[in-house]
Structure 1
Amino acid sequence: MAFNEKILEAKANKFRRELGLGTETSIDLEKLLLTLGVLTVFKPLESEFSGMALKTNENLFMLINSALPVGRQNFTIGHEIYHLFIQSDFNFQMCNAGKFDKKDREEYNADIFSSYFLMPEAALIKQIPEKELGWGETISLATLIKMEQYFGVSRAALLVRMSKSKYIHYEDYKHYLKGVIKSAVEHGYSAELYQRNDEEKVVGDYGTKVKALFDIGKISESHYHSLMLDIGLDIDDPKFNDYGKEN
């Protein structure tokens, strides 16, 4: 189903309010995923797709490609949240978030939703200096960099979002898509947001569920260890042995 963009914006704001997030701040996405109960796996994949979402009964799963820049990973999380919580009759989707491709209605809807969910209007306004908000005024590069860092998104995603709220004309700012990392570093920011981190981690209760299966005898000890190794945890590693120590 295709929504118009105003409806998608309203749905994004409503979802934020239902989660107690309000509409004036950025989001701690890892804490949000824990709150939503979405089992999320970050894994570097040498592939074009940015993520995947799966919904079966009450189980929610998300895969995020950590071989992509962190800002795009964050945008992909917002995109997958649309599929899991907003889209009707959703089951499974492999995604290439951030393309805003109107040829695929639900993928386009997911991109628009993510844009409004991660960067709501009220939060945008709070981040723009008053002197840059006036009619005919120009949003400075320094402000754009501060905003992309605050919201944790790529410059491309920020420029699209800013253009939709008529703060800028996208074509006038396209030249800022070149030399993104250099410009951020020159303004004193870390390059981390704009680079891949190849992180391998799981956010959610995967380990808790595996441990519960082992505790009730549904899986063997070797199977338990194998399943934990699948998420990069060797529970026999001596560095995890803190019995008898106070922490």
Structure 2
Amino acid sequence: MGNDNVKKGKLKAATEETFLKFKESFPGIIEMPMKNSISKIESLGIFVLISAAPLEVSGFCMTIGEDTFIFVNKNHVLGRQNFSLWHEVYHWFTESTGSVSIVNEQENSEIEYQADYFASLVLLDKNHLSEKLWEMGIRNSNNAKYISYDHIIKLQHYFQVSYSSMVRKIIEIYPNSNLSSRYALGIPARQDELIRKTLDLNLSVNLIQPSKNTYISRELFILLEKLHSENKISKSKVFSIMDFIEKELS
């Protein structure tokens, strides 16, 4: 898609309209901060699966009949997983499911760019972020240059997002404050430093590390039981699926 700012502006405006429709369609889903993305998404009737995949894969959304499944990669840091979950909700809501979301694909795909922006609208409300920055003493573009690594780390934990997503949203609010250098702490080569700074702030490192935990919605087991009782799948098929899940969880 390149760096066409006019095109990106139009895509953002369209995505903001979609986000408003989403909030109207599902009142009560959006909260700030988003404390538990999985439970909120499951309340939409979506099955969530978090399991291993190659690092370049963020996730995918797939609808089979009346059932929708969202998969995200547990090899990504937890903050990124939260973002990927809502990225896939955009695909579900706009009925653009079926393809695998690849890391950094938003640069070449309009729909992936919109899905990323949708996720940022869900997790990082600008007004609420501005309020938190105000509480930290960052009250205008003149002193935004004083936003420190510690500020960003505290904010990313409050909003439950990745470090880079937090920097990106702050730059959206203060685009002329020369904050791009703050991205550096989020690169893999400085992971140990990010962990140390996080621990120095008495914060958990869970958000900035891969979760390594497989998660499968409880409702999926209920669905399997229902399909079997309706003779839509055989008992052997249920057992084979359960066996696969057991191996994933072990």
Q: Which TM-score applies when normalising by structure 1?
A: 0.81
What CA distance in whole angstroms lies between the structure 1 residues aligned with 2:78 and 2:30?
24
Pairing 1:203–2:217 present: yes
- Match for residue 4 of structure 2? none
Contact 2:32–2:159, Cα closer than 8 Å, also in 1: no
Contact 1:160–1:170, Cα closer than 8 Å, also in 2: no
- Match for residue 71 of structure 1? 79
Pairing 1:39–2:47 present: yes
What CA distance in whole angstroms lies between the structure 2 residues aligned with 1:214 and 1:51?
28
Pairing 1:131–2:137 present: yes
Following superposition of structure 1 onto structure 2, how do residues 5-84 of structure 1 map, counting pairs within 5 Å?
Answer: 5-16=12-23, 18-22=26-30, 24-84=32-92
What CA distance in whole angstroms lies between the structure 2 residues aligned with 1:24 and 1:220?
43
- Match for residue 117 of structure 2? 112
Pairing 1:213–2:227 present: yes
How many residues in Structure 1 have an aligned counterpart in Structure 2? 231
What CA distance in whole angstroms lies between the structure 1 residues aligned with 2:140 and 2:205?
31
- Match for residue 3 of structure 2? none
Query: Equivalent residue of 2:99, what SS?
Result: strand
Q: Using the TM superposition, name which of 158-167 and 185-194 deviates more.
A: 158-167
In structure 1, list runs of 5 or more residues that go unmatched: 235-247
Contact 1:53–1:80, Cα closer than 8 Å, also in 2: yes
Pairing 1:121–2:126 present: yes
Match for 1:114: what amino acid? A
What CA deviation, in whole Å up to 9, does each residue of 1:129-156 have, x standing for no partner? 2521234112232221111112211111
Q: CA deviation at 1:218?
A: 5.2
Contact 2:86–2:122, Cα closer than 8 Å, also in 1: yes
Match for 2:183: what amino acid? K
Cα 1:220–1:58 shift into 2, 3 Å? closer
Q: CA deviation at 1:58?
A: 2.8
Match for 2:194: what amino acid? V
- Give the superposed CA RMSD: 2.7
In structure 2, list runs of 5 or more residues that go unmatched: 1-6
Query: Equivalent residue of 1:231, what SS?
Result: helix
Q: Which TM-score applies when normalising by structure 2?
A: 0.80
